[in-house]
């Protein structure tokens, strides 16, 4: 009995060790690559082409993303969980699902072009949609291939591929932007073409990595297998569709509800703020990527997941809360630093645009806390196959988001859309927390709650102190806020260096 208990404990610690080691690798890789993409390429493109032109692209991108699920039908999430629990099925499923992905690409094209035509898209908008839609197809194929690597717990390989597309985009788009050869004629189309090339190369390399484990890939038509996979994936598919709507529909609604003369500009203003949230979400998403196969394997072996859940939640939320409160305090300075005044833009209009983006940025940063919570608890519920409950929560988020958007956008424009998104995210976060506690019988950790409250109060006090009594440049004050917040979280044992180190040193 003692031997069995010791073995379970060793396996449990090993899972945590693997999670933390690969989390560090993922964070390092993403810190090296994705900020350069977001601030060196994506932001520069918007500054070069202007908020209205970028707003057109951003609307089309989010429109195409709304229907991304038709490229996947939940197969990627299902496959990640399934391969983690049944490694031997890799070769069989790869051939069948590979054929399905091709078929789903045609379905996706029919859906987005049909709905786009119905909504009045034409000319250049349809041309851009064709390229952006093809990019979404390539991305979905890369994500599916990565789900196989993740299910096999090949985290290092997956980590490298996870940043490869962005690294290639930096090289391709950077050549167009930084060499000066194309600056005079640079258009948003060049930006899209660069992404296409990067996704094609990444998909090819990811396929080679998977085939190295699965053997030859032979596409085959197997209708019973397709029906079986779709049935098993539908709960995941409906969840992703619902989540896409309350996460990505804001720019699309903005473009539809506002007058044409301001619609794309307001989408551009919204995208200026959302870019930083998107950067933060990339790092929070890393937790979900690593946690899903670990939770799935631990649940299949009937191991306790409470400690790993608490550890990941504590690390993620404390870090996100510090960042959210710090950058919100200096949101206007950050927006002014990142975005430039257009040649034909008045100073009054530029200041108004920056002020709107700063307000939206502050609202979105507090959405980030709720989103990060969902990455922990939503992932645990996914691993436990509680899809019906997750779908109900997501449906509630969609209803809240759409309802508030229709109420707030006509009066408050892009700022109203940001508030609608924040309230929808808060609802889903609280709902998932209560569901997890009910299903897994987690104890209410009053100590953890108290420590989070202490951290938030400490950050408020530091913000007041630095903004009212500090005589420093805002950049130094911002760094001081983040650094002091990290020290406070360590002191409060929210970021437990001792626990982190002990898990890293323990042999698997």
Q: pLDDT value at position 508?
A: 39
How many angstroms separate the CA atoms of 414 and 435, rounded? Answer: 32
Confidence of residue 504 (pLDDT cuts 50, 70, 90): very low
C-alpha distances out from residue 39 to 45, 162, 414, Å: 10, 18, 22
Q: How many domains does the chain have?
A: 1
pLDDT tens digits, 42-73: 888 888 888 888 889 989 998 998 888 788 77
User: Can you tell me the mean pLDDT for 345-365?
Assistant: 90
5 within some domain: no
Give domain status of residue 447, yes or no: yes
Q: Is residue 23 part of a domain?
A: yes
Candidates 15, 108, 96; CA nearest to 312 is 15
3-state SS, residue 258: coil
Where are the alpha helices (H) located in 301-346, listed in sequence order?
Answer: 306-329, 331-338
Instruction: Name the least confident of 107-111, 234-238, 417-421.
Output: 234-238
- CA dihedral in degrees (287, 449, 15, 425; nearest 10)? -30
Mean pLDDT of all residues in 23-39: 72
Considering only CA atoms, which of 440, 499, 508, 502 is closest in space to residue 7? Answer: 508
Tokens of 286: 């890393």
Positive or negative, the CA dihedral 41, 43, 47, 53 is: positive
- Domain for residue 142, yes or no? yes
pLDDT tens-place string over residues 219-277? 666 677 677 767 777 777 777 778 777 777 888 888 888 888 788 889 888 988 888 88
Residue 1 inside a domain? The answer is no
Nearby residues of 337 by Cβ (< 8 Å), 6 or more positions away: none
Cβ proximity of 474 and 333 under 8 Å: yes
R_g over Cα of the chain: 23
Whether the pLDDT of residue 399 is over 70: the answer is yes
For 376, the domain range is 12-505
Is residue 225 a part of any domain in this protein? yes
Neighbours of 5 (CB within 10 A): 9
DSSP string, 392-409: HHHHHHHHHHHHHHHHHH
| Residue 2 within a domain | no
Chain Cα centroid distance, residue 262: 28
Is the pTM higher than 0.85? The answer reads no
Helix (H, G, I), strand (E, B) or coil at 169: helix
Q: Kindly provide the b/e burial profile for residues 29-46, where b requires at least 16 CB atoms within 10 angstroms of the residue's own CB.
A: bbeebbebbbeebbbbbb
What's the pLDDT tens digit per position in 403-412? 999 999 998 8
With contact defined as beta carbons under 8 Å apart, do 408 and 420 qualify? yes
Please report the pLDDT score of residue 505 as a whole number: 47
With beta carbons less than 8 A apart as the criterion, state whether 436 and 374 touch: no
């Amino acid at each position: 009995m003692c031997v069995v208990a010791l073995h379970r404990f060793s396996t449990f610690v090993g899972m945590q060790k693997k999670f933390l080691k690969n989390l560090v690798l993922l964070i390092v890789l993403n810190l090296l690559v994705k900020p350069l993409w977001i601030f060196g390429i994506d932001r520069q493109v918007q500054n070069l082409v202007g908020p209205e032109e970028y707003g057109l692209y951003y609307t089309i991108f989010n429109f195409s993303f709304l229907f991304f699920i038709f490229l996947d039908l939940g197969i990627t999430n299902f496959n990640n969980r399934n391969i983690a629990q049944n490694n031997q099925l890799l070769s069989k499923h790869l051939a069948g699902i590979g054929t399905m992905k091709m078929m789903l690409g045609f379905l996706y094209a029919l859906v987005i072009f049909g709905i786009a035509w119905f909504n009045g898209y034409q000319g250049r908008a349809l041309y851009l949609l064709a390229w952006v839609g093809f990019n979404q197809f390539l991305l979905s194929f890369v994500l599916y291939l990565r789900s196989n690597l993740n299910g096999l717990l090949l985290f290092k390989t997956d980590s490298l591929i996870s940043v490869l597309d962005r690294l290639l985009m930096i090289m391709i788009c950077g050549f167009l932007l930084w060499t000066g050869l194309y600056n005079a004629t640079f258009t948003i189309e060049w930006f899209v073409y660069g992404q296409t090339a990067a996704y094609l190369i990444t998909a090819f390399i990811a396929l080679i990595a998977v085939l190295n484990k699965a053997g030859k890939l032979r596409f085959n038509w197997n209708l019973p297998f397709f029906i079986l996979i779709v049935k098993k994936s539908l709960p995941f598919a409906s969840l992703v569709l619902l989540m896409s709507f309350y996460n990505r529909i804001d720019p699309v609604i903005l473009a539809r509800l506002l007058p044409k003369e301001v619609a794309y500009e307001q989408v551009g203003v919204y995208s200026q703020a959302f870019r930083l949230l998107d950067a933060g979400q990339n790092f929070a998403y890393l937790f979900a990527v690593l946690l899903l196969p670990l939770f799935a394997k631990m649940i299949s072996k009937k191991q306790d997941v409470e400690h790993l859940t608490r550890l990941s939640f504590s690390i993620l939320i404390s870090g996100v809360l510090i960042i959210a409160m710090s950058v919100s305090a200096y949101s206007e300075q950050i927006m002014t630093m990142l975005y430039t005044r257009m040649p034909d833009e008045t100073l009054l209009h530029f200041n108004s645009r920056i002020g709107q983006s700063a307000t939206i940025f502050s609202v979105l940063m507090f959405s980030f806390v709720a989103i990060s919570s969902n990455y922990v608890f939503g992932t645990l519920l996914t691993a436990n196959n509680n899809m019906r409950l997750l779908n109900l929560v997501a449906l509630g988020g969609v209803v809240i988001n759409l309802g508030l958007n229709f109420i707030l956008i006509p009066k408050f424009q892009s700022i109203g859309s940001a508030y609608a998104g924040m309230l929808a995210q808060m609802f889903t976060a609280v709902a998932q927390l209560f569901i997890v506690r009910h299903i897994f019988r987690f104890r209410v950790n009053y100590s953890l709650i108290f420590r989070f409250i202490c951290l938030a109060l400490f950050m408020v006090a530091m913000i007041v102190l630095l903004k009212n009594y500090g005589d420093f440049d805002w950049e130094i004050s911002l760094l001081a806020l983040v650094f002091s917040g990290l020290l406070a979280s360590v002191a409060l044992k929210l970021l437990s260096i001792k626990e982190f180190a002990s898990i890293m040193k323990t042999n698997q």
